[in-house]
Every structure is written in structure tokens, then in C-alpha cells.
Amino acid sequence: MAPTDFQTPRKPLRTEQQLSPPPTISPPNVPDIVVSPASPVIDPSKADFEEGYIPIALLGDGTYGEAFSALKKDIADVVISKLLDGEKPDLPHSKVVVVKFAKPDESGKLSAHLASEIRMMKFVMKDMSHKLLNYLLDAHSSGEIQWLVTPFCSGGDLDRFTAAYPDILTAPFIWHAGMQLMQALVYFHYGLKDFTSYAHAEPDSWPSLIHNDIFLRNLFIRPQKSGNDFPDIILADFGISKHVLWTADLKSLDKNQLEDYREAIDVINELRKRSKGRAIDHDLTTWVGRLSKMKKGSENILPVVRKFIEVARMCRDKGKLPMHPKVVAALKKVDEECMKNALEAYYEQKKAKEVIVK
């Protein structure tokens, strides 16, 4: 039977509230810097975080929390000092980070999702290192103070990135996104780094993990150093992930891990739909069908995923073109504006404190 062009998603892909970025205003006396005001200190978590960091701009606001871009104050101190001395220091774009804060529920209690994510990343995933998994830089979780810091991905999430730049949705890009998502999952589930040697990170002590929340808003875009290459697709958001410890739960582990792959297939199908005919590829259609038919258990999943990654890499490289110059320029601009906004916000804070002291 000939494969259908698109597999029907098993469930609607979720979306979160999308907010416009905060307004920008032009500051006096600071050349070449665009201002974006820091977030107001309105709760203990933000007050604690702002002891060492500068919030820059709101990135996302969802049911359980909100996220801001941010910069460490000690890094900003060095750069601002050089600017005030008339120097032109290199702006450390790679030092911009993301902070997540928990939101209170109707009873006033903070959502448990952030505390759960901190535990997962700080203790369970602490030794996990893979370029396609988001990782922890800093965190605080004690009572009413909860915040988590991870690297900043200047492309934002895959949902909004592909909505802003739909022309990137070619068959080679979708092969690339599917390949990297599967690579991240087999490492997350099994510690498998390399299909050539079947080398595992820690085969005897790898935690039994389920992600539980794979969709477009939890996949992030990190540009490659070359700029023209497809960006890396980063698997993030471990707030409802599970570390399976009990024997009763282990019985359903294979089934729940298979569900992660089903959600990954939904992501691939959604990207194909959004391409609106730009990504018609019969081989991709066939492989989506094969992935959809996988049965639970590593002995069934790994051989299929291994072959998919092999084919995906070949199909991506065979038809890949450089990213559109507008996309490359936009990603670079985001990096530059985040750094400038951080420095300006901090500079204004320092000026205000000096006035108060005087």
C-alpha cells in the first residue's frame, strides 16, 4: 500500500500564550545600546535572582511559569567599565542565559513543575552531556524562592521560529530536525551516544527516564557557528519528565518511552504540514510510517531509529542549501540586541543607585 502524504496526528499539538516583546526606549549617553527595561522585582524568586543577574526581556509566559533572557552582573560590569573608558570590547553574546520562574496557582502556591525540573536537571541529569539536550547552569529551589538558569538559544522555540521563517521548512530541514530529535531521545532514554559503536555513556547506571512533553514549544533553536548551516534542535523543558524508580512503574517504562517517540513523530508531521508543499518527500513519508509502527522496548526502537538517523543524515546533506540570508541575519541580530539590552538595563540601574546614594 502506498504511503499517505501525511500521517494524522494522534492529538492536537499544544500552544502557549505568545506575548509581544517589551517596548524599547532610547537611553541618553550610552552610544550604540538599545534599552529594554529589566523585569520589575515583584516576588522573592526574582529578588533573589537579581542579586547576581540582570533580566533582559520576557521570552515566554505560560500556565506554570515565565522565562526571561538574562546576563550575569559580573560580566556586565567588565563590559560597561570598558565602554565608559572609551574602549570597544567584544560583546560576550554566548553569556546570555535564560531564567525560568514558577507561577503561583489559584491557592497562591508555586507550581511544582519548576521544582521538579530543577530536581531532574540538578540531580538525575547532572552527569548527562549531549549537545542536543538543554542543560543546567544555575538554580535555586528553597521554599518560595525558585529559579532555574539554562543556556540561551537565540532562535527561540521551533514553533515560533518556523512561523516566522516558513521558507526554512524544506525537506532537508525537516530531515535534519527529525534526525536531531531522535538523537536527543535515544541519549535521554538509553544513554546512547554513538550508533556506530553503540557506546553508552553509563550503561550500568543510566536512569530510567520519560520526557512526557515533546512538542514544538519545547524544542529550541541554537545557531551553528558557521551561521549558514542548519541550527541545532535542542530538547528542553523537563518539568513533567519522570525518573522511574519503582518496580511497578518500570513495567510501563517501555510503553511510556515509546509515547515520547510518538510525540516526536507528531512534531515531524506538524513541520511537514506547515511546509505547505515545500517539503514533499516520499522517502520522508515512508519513514514517518515506519517510525509510527515501532513497538515498545529498546530492542524494537533502536534498530528502527538507528536506520532513520542514517537515512535522515544522507537525505539532509544531499539536498541541503545554505539558510536564507534573512534567517542568518535575524539570528545574529537577536544575539546582538540581547547583549545591548542587558548592558543598557544594567547601566540604567547603576545610574539610579548612584543618584540614591548621593
pLDDT at residue 194 in the model: 76
**What is the pLDDT confidence band of residue 14, given thresholds at 50, 70 and 90?**
very low
Please, where are the H alpha helices in the chain? 44-49, 73-84, 112-119, 158-164, 171-190, 247-250, 253-274, 282-292, 298-319, 325-357
Q: What is the overall mean pLDDT for the chain?
A: 80
Asked if the model's pLDDT at residue 63 lies above 90, the reply is no
What's the length of the chain? 358
Q: String of b and e for 151-174 (b: at least 16 CB within 10 Å)? A: bbbbbbbbbbbbeebeebbbbbbb
- As a dihedral over the C-alpha atoms of residue 258, residue 264, residue 269, residue 270, rounded to 10 degrees, the angle is 140
Domains contained in the chain, CATH given: 44-152+333-352 (3.30.200.20), 158-319 (1.10.510.10)
pLDDT at residue 107 in the model: 77
pTM equals 0.80
Look at residue 101 and give its three-state secondary structure.
strand
Q: Answer whether 3's CB lies under 8 Å from 281's CB.
A: no
Please, where are the H alpha helices in 147-252? 158-164, 171-190, 247-250
**What is the pLDDT confidence band of residue 333, given thresholds at 50, 70 and 90?**
confident
Classify residue 336 by burial, with Cβ atoms within 10 Å: 0-12, 13-18, 19+. Answer: middle
C-alpha cell at 168: 526554512
Percent of the chain scoring above 70 in pLDDT: 78
pLDDT at residue 228 in the model: 62
Look at residue 243 and give its three-state secondary structure.
strand
Please state the rounded mean pLDDT for residues 246-272.
Answer: 90
**What is the pLDDT confidence band of residue 6, given thresholds at 50, 70 and 90?**
very low
Q: Answer whether 174's CB lies under 8 Å from 268's CB.
A: yes
Asked if the model's pLDDT at residue 52 lies above 50, the reply is yes
Phi (first) and psi of residue 227, to 5 degrees = 85, -45
When mean pLDDT is compared over 29-38, 222-231, 240-249, the highest value belongs to: 240-249
Closest Cα partner for 133 from 220, 54, 12? 220
Look at residue 11 and give its three-state secondary structure.
coil
Please state the rounded mean pLDDT for residues 37-60.
Answer: 77
What are the pLDDT digits (tens) for 213-226?
A: 999 999 999 988 76
Neighbouring C-beta atoms of residue 8, cutoff 10 Å: 8
Region of poorest pLDDT, from 87-101, 112-126, 301-315: 87-101
Neighbouring C-beta atoms of residue 46, cutoff 10 Å: 20
Please, where are the H alpha helices in 191-252? 247-250
pLDDT at residue 197 in the model: 62
Closest Cα partner for 283 from 268, 302, 298? 268
Asked if the model's pLDDT at residue 242 lies above 50, the reply is yes
What are the pLDDT digits (tens) for 149-203?
A: 999 988 889 999 999 888 889 999 999 999 999 999 999 999 888 776 665 555 5
